[in-house]
Structure 1
């Protein structure tokens, strides 16, 4: 069984590995990475790590070794990764794609990789990012930094992507004394809004896939199980308990439209945004413009920077798998992923002087979609100005309405409920974590023009000058429906002179969740650019049949340019599959048409954070 499970995960690792590209750059900094100090790495597997409540977690420890593979005596700085995907996979078949920890071990670090509670070889029951798991994260750092570890200098850094990146944020929020720096790739900020229920509809693309991955990797027998049958039985019983006590009830509750379908304490506990005010250690972030956490990673950067925490972010043209592997990050001009990590940890964990670090790597390095250029900035939102385009006229299939700065014409446009809308788009690749791209089929769906025929479309005249934007976007659409509910799925795109439609980003909003929390929303020049909706039972409010209401749709942030001769387009559909579906309770209402209104009394518009043209 162990061999079969590992073979399956090896196949997944090959998919990951297929994403890896040559990481070169023509604009590399003068800094050069250190060479190896030790010829080998020695690994001790399934080491017991006791938690304060008596549960024992398991970790693999890789130490610098001599040419014969014997561990070298001495204390070294420690790099730590906490995973829910089984350390046997992470340090085994997946290491070719996610990065071999031996790179750091041979340069004088100890690597500790730990299975999160209730996953892999660790005891207990899994409850992702619960208060107990987050406490574990801080205790694991304390364990690794303790003077009782004969190989530890007491100085710890953390690295890893996705789940492993989120774990770093929660560990840092525990403020363990030994933690000196973290390097989270593609982490979330607000679990509910980022991925679980964007706009109030259920994510049915990624969440079931993710829960299945954690459950599946948890069934691989750990190495210690062969010699300790009682422990192996205990592990399997805990996996069953995790599936029946956490995974299945959450999915069922959300699908039926019960408590898990709404925001509240459950998701607040699991959202790093609520822990960022307790993070003080230097943080290096990697985010993706087509990532699952496209919304959240820039929020983490923003909040830490506002608090004065040393923080940097590279925001590139990557989906979740690409952002996790660091494929193409060298194109940003700062080195490969492991070179960046080595430089960050050498400075803040090992304590080596690096006076050129901040000069070489600015706070923000971001990729511009359409031009392919990389740009630098001090903050996520700093030099931008709010720019609004009004919807004008009526959209018919194949005959878009207009987007205008002034002089909008009255119109009404019907959005039919087409349950396959979104099926062949960049959204489908994004919200299945980049798997279609990994197997080479996403390129068949890069032109959004055919999907746009299933909804209402509005676009500008061809641009005379480049229109550059960076950040979140708000689409305020006056909407009515005969059933009182439904969902707006909004895509923002660039249309080439020959008609190809390049989807830049998207946003979603269930009509009954339209209540706006102005205090938690984001404004630029007095204009709303990032609405905040509570998504609670108490604030849910159905429309009356035929009632026209303004619906603010949070369109997730991007960095892009609409080049001269191209058009800015907004398209509106009623579905976005396989990304989102309504709950069973809301499904009947979602199968009715929506009407988008634009008039003096009911103006509909889109507001973008535009970077002013250089003089």
Structure 2
């Protein structure tokens, strides 16, 4: 009894903390009437009932555990019928998520009371499941398909054999791995903020290591996995085995991985380790309808659109809503109603009713666009059929003149540029108080200090680097998609990092950071076969990020550095200025490995001239107006 009480108290404490996050997110929710002809149906069942820690055997003998939530009558007893099953696979301990009130993607009651069963499973080596967690290794990814096959089976008295999946972040990625296995009965998925390419999306954007989110994330999974399993009182032998497995995972995977990466070992470079864990490599095998949610300030700002685009190009029914959200905000779905289609629960109900229950919905595609994107600068929600569609053209603005340290900025122009050189000092505080800092700590700072001025005004941070700006625009510029800063640079020490922010400067001088990108100079090698061009303009560079391709600059050498700036949709209005700011650091987001640390403490120089044509390349919505 004492063990069970202790577990419940611990879960309550963790759940309370997560619940406070949920409450804070919910406070920002505003009611939005869906601008559609569809209305959500009422509840069919008044209550739900949960069966906890159901054993789910994997093909290698490992036992995973899941909680089954079923529709119940007024008496609290489960309805003796078979229903479609919605599955969520989590690494964050299903007991903790349940205690938090379902802040990660909303609670299950909305769908369950309308005739669905919810199955939430602890991933291998986490929560109450056996095994060793290795973060989307091949064995865990195989589990996804086996879980779905188990839920599909007629041996489950509550399953009618038809399944779907929900959940954000880790749970969103799990959906795609499971769907790639093409298990029987899986009809549709609803992934919020899933990643695509582990290395480029989040682990080492631009070639430096993420020290804001990744250590916190690894710590979260490890710590929630060490909470005594809820089966401790009823199955002590199994619970002890699970705890020993989880401790082994922490000692043999999590800690060694972090140490090796920071010491410059193999995990600091792209390769087989990340290929195995990157769902972009199997996305061609996903053939079920998918509804994506993405955030413009999300951890997976880069990756989620690539997943959407792949399915969209292959003609698979696919939707994506991209809002002005960080990771916590997009995971909760609290503000998704602002897009005009209804709440998260309503969207999921409509999606699953159509694809799992076969409910006729002739206006689904006319009501909800394939792509719905929040437009920075106007606050409008824009609709499109494709990620990079025919309305976009490849455009360039040229860097011009010199950005003086703490002085006047250089220029951005579509005309003839003035030659210049601009120095960037190695200031390790650059990025510390910016929207980037909030983004790459998953939105926690914004949750704690939502009105911090530097989250909405980048002026102070920009003083630590070089700035290039247009003159006040006479015509608006609208851009959508990935962006490339093609910068000619030299380095006194042969290496360093270019951190580039794309910004909107208002007439009152306020500077809003729209998006950003990063690139280590020694990782400048370009794989043109995997890079993206629009009308001959490079808009999304692809770098190998391997040790073999790494090469420092020689003394005095000037080389083109293509900096992938993560995608956005923005309209720069007349009277405003489009600008970029370039620094040498972005903390607490990125830091170099220990062997590379001293090499980054060096002065960098941006060159722009006829010989060194530095540019900003982007997909322009319509023809780019003349920018003097």
1:387-402 alignment, distance < 5 Å: 387-396=395-404, 397-402=406-411
Residue from 204, 213, 225 that aligns with 1:206: 213
Q: CA deviation at 1:613?
A: 6.4
> In structure 2, how many angstroms separate the alpha carbons of the residues matched to 1:476 and 1:152?
54
Give the structure 2 partner of residue 324 of structure 1.
331
1:597 aligns with 2:607: yes
Identify the residue that residue 448 of structure 2 maps to in structure 1: 439
Question: What's 2:21 paired with?
Answer: 15
Q: In structure 1, what is the Cα distance between the partners aligned to 2:305 and 2:378?
A: 21
Equivalent residue for 2:203?
Answer: 196
- The Cα shift of 1:27 comes to 5.2
The aligned residue for residue 425 of structure 2 is 416
Corresponding residue of 1:563:
573
Counterpart selection for 1:385 from 381, 388, 393 = 393
Contact 2:477 2:624 in 1 (8 A): no
Say whether residues 1:6 and 2:12 are aligned partners: yes
For normalisation by structure 2, the TM-score amounts to 0.96
Give the aligned partner of residue 512 of structure 2.
502
For 1:96 and 1:205, locate their aligned partners in 2 and report how far apart those are by CA, in whole Å. 22
Secondary structure, in 3 states, of the residue corresponding to 1:422?
coil
CA RMSD between the two structures: 1.3
The DSSP-based 3-state class of the residue aligned with 1:188 is: coil
Cα contact 1:61–1:111 (8 A) shared by 2: yes
> 2 CA distance for matches of 1:355 and 1:177?
26
Q: Is 1:168 the counterpart of 2:178 in the alignment? A: no
**1:66 counterpart residue number:** 73
Partner of 1:517: 527
In structure 2, what is the Cα distance between the partners aligned to 1:517 and 1:13? 45
Following the alignment from structure 1 to structure 2, what is the Cα–Cα distance between the partners of residues 311 and 578?
Answer: 35
1:284-323 equivalence runs, <5 A: 284-323=291-330
SS in 2 for 1:343: helix
State the Cα distance separating 1:307 from its structure 2 match.
1.4
- The alignment status of 1:252 with 2:259, answered yes or no, reads yes
Quote the offset at 1:370 in angstroms.
1.5
1:521-544 CA-partner distances (Å, limit 9, x unpaired): 000010000000010111111111
Aligned to 1:117, what secondary structure does the other structure show? coil
**Secondary structure at 2:167 match in 1:** strand
Whole-angstrom distance in 2 between the partners of 1:504 and 1:579: 16
1:367 matched to which residue of 2?
A: 374
The two structures have a TM-score, normalised by structure 1, of 0.98
Asked whether the 8 Å contact 2:97–2:104 carries over to 1, the reply is no
- What SS is found at the alignment partner of 1:223? coil
Residues 27/233 of structure 1: CA separation in 2 closer, same or farther (3 Å cut): closer
Q: Say yes or no: does 1:473 pair with 2:480.
A: no
Distance 1:122 1:97, change over 3 A: closer
| Corresponding residue of 1:223 | 230
How much does 1:11 deviate?
A: 1.1
Aligned equivalent of 1:454, options 464, 473, 488:
464
User: What does residue 57 of structure 2 align with?
Assistant: 50
**How far did residue 222 of structure 1 move?**
2.1
Higher mean Cα deviation, 397-406 or 513-522? 397-406
The CA distance in 1 between the partners of 2:220 and 2:440, in whole Å, is 15
SS at match of 1:245: helix
Partner secondary structure for residue 302 of structure 1: helix
Q: State the shift of 1:6 in Å.
A: 3.2
2:361 is paired with a residue whose SS is coil
Instruction: Measure how far apart 1:398 and its partner are.
Output: 2.8
Q: Structure 2 stretches of 5 or more lacking a match?
A: 1-5
Whole-Å separation in 2 of the counterparts to 1:487 and 1:276: 31
After TM superposition, give the deviation of residue 112 of structure 1 in Å. Answer: 0.3
1:41 Cα offset (Å): 0.6
- 1:262 pairs with 2:263: no
Cα offset, 1:441, TM superposition:
4.1
Task: State how many pairs are aligned.
Answer: 615
Contact 1:17 1:97 in 2 (8 A): no
The equivalent residue for 2:437 is 428
Q: Deviations over 1:393-413 (max 9, x none)?
A: 110123100001111001000
Alpha-carbon distance in 2 for matches of 1:406, 1:186 = 39
Q: CA deviation at 1:72?
A: 0.8
Structure 1 stretches of 5 or more lacking a match? none
Secondary structure of 2:586's counterpart equals: coil
In the TM superposition, residue 25 of structure 1 has moved relative to its aligned partner by 2.4
